[in-house]
Structure 1
């Protein structure tokens, strides 16, 4: 999830942007804004930067492994084709 300090900072900025007269209407306006923002961010199913970076590293590592496996498979397929061709040529003789 998103960092709670960031949510608090956004809530505080929204709270500070509201004219002072309106701020006096409710002492807990910042808390209400904070709860609304947390609920909205939760619905958005966001992840924090650390989790995103970790998943990016895992994805890159898996792509490298896949490329290596694809390369090895191509070599094995090529070798198998050559073996079959050699075997077929010997049988034809």
Structure 2
């Protein structure tokens, strides 16, 4: 994922430098390494990992809601 994103960013950056005619730009290998290094520091996750965690959180929220209802029912019974 990071490699794919780095390649896309590299391609975009290289294209923009060519459009600007910037001959003082970093060599391609240095630019690519710089982009990859920066992306690795972002702690990115895949969409699949994100969706899986979101599903886990949703199930957990549902369980908590049920437990709160059960607890309230027990407290109501105790107070009667």
The TM-score with structure 1 as length reference comes to: 0.68
Q: Is the 8 A contact 1:7 1:34 kept in 2?
A: yes
Q: Which structure ranks higher in relative contact order (CA pairs < 8 Å, sequence separation ≥ 6)?
A: 2
d(CA) in 2 for partners of 1:35, 1:71: 54
d(CA) in 2 for partners of 1:79, 1:7: 60
Post-superposition offset of 1:21: 6.4
Moved segments of 4+, more than 6 Å = none
The TM-score with structure 2 as length reference comes to: 0.77
Superposed CA RMSD: 2.4
Deviations 1:18-66 (A, max 9, x none): 126628x84xx1x322221221122222222221111111111111110
Q: How does 1:1-93 map to 2 (within 5 A)?
A: 2-19=1-18, 22=23, 26=27, 29=28, 31-82=29-80
Question: Larger Rg: 1 or 2?
Answer: 1
Structure 2 residues without counterparts, runs of 5 or longer: none
Q: Aligned pairs, how many?
A: 78
Q: Is the 8 A contact 2:2 2:40 kept in 1?
A: no
d(CA) in 2 for partners of 1:61, 1:80: 29
